[in-house]
């Protein structure tokens, strides 16, 4: 494979939507780190027993993707492998084996992390890409049953409005914000609006504007979709609506209280401001979204359903896992609700 010059490397990276908005001068930093690689048939591209330290842009050839011994799909060039496991960080690696002679370009993870550190807009684009793909999967996935917080925190909720210390404590109970800077959390907490609703109140309906997320601190509600055929119980400890708000798509389901509810409602802009101020929290949040998406893929793989790449009957097709000109674009309509940052609730 001939060595790519910087201009051609930049053009290849422009195929990845999360990098498209980067100025050429900034993208050159990442382009310079790309390494051309070739793999023979049967050669390992990514090892499942090693943490992902890079991802690959596949120029030509076929790569079989595996997680936990189950096939999750096949990626054909032009495409890409390893980006989502890299973002998930601690979700476990994905195995990739060349099914033919493969020409690829390796993008080192540390170079991507430097870009995230230098240019928040790239990190935000990456986070939104993961959320976008997760939304498509969540709409058809079977949600888990409600899992209450342990230990419970309903004793904190009375007739008085929640104070700033209580709000920070509650936010810290979520995995996404467990290690967040107190000052950053305080700024977010102050901008959240406490709301109380009686039973049988519709908080939102399909088609409503989505620019906020709701953190439940007391009382149960349910999300209803698929014309009433699907529903999920949500309650204390759950954050709903955050992912669709991040992607900025309309609500697709209905949120209705089943009993008196107390929640904290935060705007998308406040969350993004915190991510920009505290990059480690942003990385943690992105990792959780990617982990939720990979968990769904794992469950589908157990049922023999491929989630990555294109079906074998569609050569060069781009499905839900490809990383080529359409790589980060979901296979279906972008309309669903987001997961609980703690438990994957919608």
pLDDT for 338 equals 36
Q: Which residue has the higher pLDDT, 87 or 12?
A: 87
Q: What is the mean pLDDT of the chain?
A: 82
Contacts of 36 (CB under 8 A, 6+ apart): 1, 2, 3, 4, 103, 104, 105, 106
Residue, of 315 and 9, whose pLDDT is higher: 9
Write the pLDDT tens digit of every residue in 202-225.
Answer: 999 999 999 999 999 999 999 999
226 band by pLDDT with thresholds 50, 70 and 90: confident
Task: Give me the mean pLDDT over the 262-282 stretch.
Answer: 93
pLDDT value at residue 303: 75
Confidence of residue 169 (pLDDT cuts 50, 70, 90): very high
Percentage of the residues of the chain whose pLDDT score is greater than 90: 41
Question: Quick one: pLDDT at residue 174?
Answer: 87
pLDDT of residue 342 exceeding 60: no
Mean pLDDT on 295-320: 58
pTM for the predicted model, two decimal places: 0.82
Per-residue pLDDT tens digits for 235-252? 999 999 998 999 999 999
pLDDT of residue 39 exceeding 70, the answer is yes
pLDDT at 312: 42
Instruction: Name all domains of the chain by residue range, CATH numbers in brackets.
Output: 6-135+284-309 (2.60.120.10), 141-277 (2.60.120.10)
Residue 9's pLDDT is: 81
């Amino acid at each position: 494979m001939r060595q790519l010059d910087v201009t051609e490397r930049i053009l290849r990276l422009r195929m990845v939507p999360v990098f498209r908005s980067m100025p050429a001068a900034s993208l050159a930093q990442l382009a310079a780190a790309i390494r051309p690689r070739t793999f023979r048939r049967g050669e390992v591209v990514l090892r499942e027993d090693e943490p992902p330290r890079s991802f690959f842009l596949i120029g030509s050839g076929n790569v079989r993707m595996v997680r936990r011994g189950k096939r999750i799909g096949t990626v054909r060039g032009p495409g890409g492998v390893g980006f989502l496991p890299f973002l998930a960080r601690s979700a476990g690696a994905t195995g990739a084996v060349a099914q033919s002679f493969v020409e690829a370009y390796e993008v080192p993870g540390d170079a991507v992390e430097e870009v995230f550190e230098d240019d928040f807009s790239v990190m935000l684009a990456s986070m939104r890409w993961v959320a976008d793909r997760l939304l498509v999967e969540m709409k058809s996935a079977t949600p888990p049953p409600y899992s209450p917080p342990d230990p419970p925190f309903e004793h904190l909720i009375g007739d008085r409005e929640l104070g700033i210390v209580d709000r920070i404590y509650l936010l810290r109970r979520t995995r996404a914000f467990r290690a967040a800077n107190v000052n950053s959390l305080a700024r977010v907490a102050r901008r959240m609006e406490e709301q109380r609703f009686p039973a049988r109140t519709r908080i939102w309906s399909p088609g409503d504007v989505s620019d906020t997320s709701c953190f439940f601190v007391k009382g149960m509600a349910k999300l209803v979709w698929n014309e009433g055929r699907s529903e999920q119980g949500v309650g204390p400890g759950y954050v709903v609506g955050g992912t669709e708000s991040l992607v900025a798509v309309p609500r697709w389901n209905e949120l209705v209280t089943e009993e008196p509810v107390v929640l904290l409602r935060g705007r998308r802009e406040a969350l993004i401001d915190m991510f920009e101020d505290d990059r480690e929290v942003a990385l943690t949040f992105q990792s959780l979204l990617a982990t939720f998406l990979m968990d769904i893929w794992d469950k589908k793989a157990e049922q023999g359903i491929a989630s990555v790449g294109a079906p074998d009957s569609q050569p060069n097709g781009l499905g839900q896992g490809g990383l080529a000109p359409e790589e980060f674009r979901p296979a279906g309509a972008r309309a669903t609700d987001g997961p609980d940052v703690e438990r994957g609730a919608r």
